Amino acid sequence: MMSQLKQLPLFVTKASFRERNVKSVTFKGNFDYPIHRWFRLTPSFSPELVADILAHWKLPHDAEVLEPFCGVGTTPLVCQERGLSNCAVELNPLLYFVAKVKTTPFRNPTDLAVAAEEVMAQAQIHFSTLKSLDTDTFLIEYHDWIPRIRNVTKWWSPLVLKKLIAVRMALTDASIPVDIANLLNLAAASILIEVSNARHNHPSLSFTKVPKNDAPVFERFQEQLEMTMHDLHSFPQERPKTLILQGNSKQLEQVLPANSVFDAVITSPPYPNRYSYARETRPHMFFLELVQDGREVGELETEAIGGTWGKATSVLSGHFDYRSPAVEEALHGIPERIGQHSHLMQNYVIKYFNDIQQHIESLKPFLRRRAQLAYVIGNSKFYKIVLPSDEILADIFEANGFRVISIERMRRRNSKSGLYEAIVFAEVQ
């Protein structure tokens, strides 16, 4: 049975960004709203938070909004609900795909239902052949269909993997338009972790101690498709212009159209907490063939803000200078204190804020005078040394000619650890 969905409020009488509850800040808020709930990304923020920021600003109807760290498309979707034109940039190919599919209008859910029925029937036919094969024979004969992720049977037990491959083969067999195929592929990708031997563990993936010998792949795929069709009916059919671009937000001049100018930015860059988007989305990227091998995943991590996994680790083992005096001054010697415990983590913090500085440099030419900015960010701790990311970000904005309006600390992430999430509000002078 479908859960009761909410509608985002059009107006708030008084913007409140402090002492917010978990659902009004984090990914958990996505589950209450149509389309937002199609894919779980633990470090994403809530649509309610984006709606409150927009209501707080009272942007004109013709305002252009930019989201430079798009993730799964929360900001673009809320802008669509509000009738605001928007543009978003995302480096990770899986997240780019999710955001693109979620923000693309689809007016014929009946066509999706017909295609879903065809794919489900074909998947059952494929599975009837696969289920009788022993594991070694299956892995050899269907090698080209199996995701090329390392230790694939550690991720999915053989029987579960056979079901997923049956779905994948059925999706490939189907002669359906691209927009329908994208919705079907997103539905399949969205269930990959819950039927796997991995789990979301605050927030990174880890493997369960007891593997799942079986899982309801077909049933969950069907439920996901039914939810998709339901949500398409619940979401506004007419949507304003939305442009989702794949690229690096440290180099916006290479991504955005040359004549782009924006009135507002709502975003949440990766936090300096070593969370790896590339690592966490590997299963989905391999399943959808968005990457071909581990080298591509490593390159994504290296290009991302910060980055401490895979190839990025070897990059951090070298020497890092501060990108500008502004970054060095904003960090107040914190990396050097961290360096007394770990040279790698010292370099990670320097690189992270060097990347933030590069992003701001690339962003500034695309903003109108008086453009409003809202950056959601969390602080971190390394060896009990506090890294106040919100204050550091605010100082870097100020050094680059922006006016910081306020820092709103919204919630404690763990009352005992001193971790929190905040919004840095700024304005182009």
CB–CB of 206/198 below 8 Å? Answer: yes
pLDDT at 313: 86
Of 93, 255, 259, the C-alpha closest to 189 is 93
Collapsing DSSP to helix, strand or coil, 299 comes out as helix
3-class DSSP state for residue 259? coil
Using CB atoms within 10 Å of the CB of residue 380, give its burial: 0 to 12 exposed, 13 to 18 middle, 19+ buried. Answer: middle
Show the CA angle centred on residue 143, arms to residues 277 and 164, nearest 5°. Answer: 60
Domain positions in the chain? 22-105+251-273+313-428, 109-234
**pLDDT tens-digit readout, 359-373:** 999 999 999 999 999
Q: Tell me what pLDDT residue 416 has.
A: 61
- Contact status, residue 370 vs residue 258, Cβ threshold 8 Å: no
Fold of 22-105+251-273+313-428: Rossmann fold (3.40.50)
Taking each helix axis from N to C end, the angle separating 178-190 and 158-173, rounded to the nearest 10 degrees, works out to 170
pLDDT of residue 10: 53
Indicate whether this model's pTM tops 0.75.
Answer: yes
Q: Residue 306: what pLDDT?
A: 83
Nearest Cα neighbor of 381 from 279, 294, 274 is: 274
**Residue 7, pLDDT score:** 66
State the DSSP code for 271: P
pLDDT in tens, 159-193: 999 999 999 999 999 899 999 999 999 999 999 99
Alpha helix locations (H) across 270-409? Answer: 277-280, 282-287, 294-303, 311-316, 325-331, 334-339, 343-363, 389-399
- How far apart are the C-alpha atoms of 410 and 378, rounded to whole Å? 10
CA pair distance 385, 402, nearest whole angstrom: 28
Per-residue pLDDT of the chain (429 residues; tens, 9 = 90+): 345 677 666 554 456 899 899 999 999 999 999 999 999 999 999 999 999 999 999 999 999 999 999 999 999 999 999 999 999 999 999 999 999 999 999 888 889 999 999 999 999 999 999 999 999 999 999 999 999 999 999 999 999 999 999 999 999 998 999 999 999 999 999 999 999 999 887 667 889 889 999 999 999 999 999 999 999 988 877 899 899 999 999 999 999 999 999 999 999 999 999 889 999 999 999 999 999 999 999 999 999 998 888 888 888 988 899 999 999 999 999 999 999 999 999 999 999 999 999 999 999 999 999 999 999 999 999 999 999 999 999 999 999 999 999 999 999 887 568 899 999 999 999
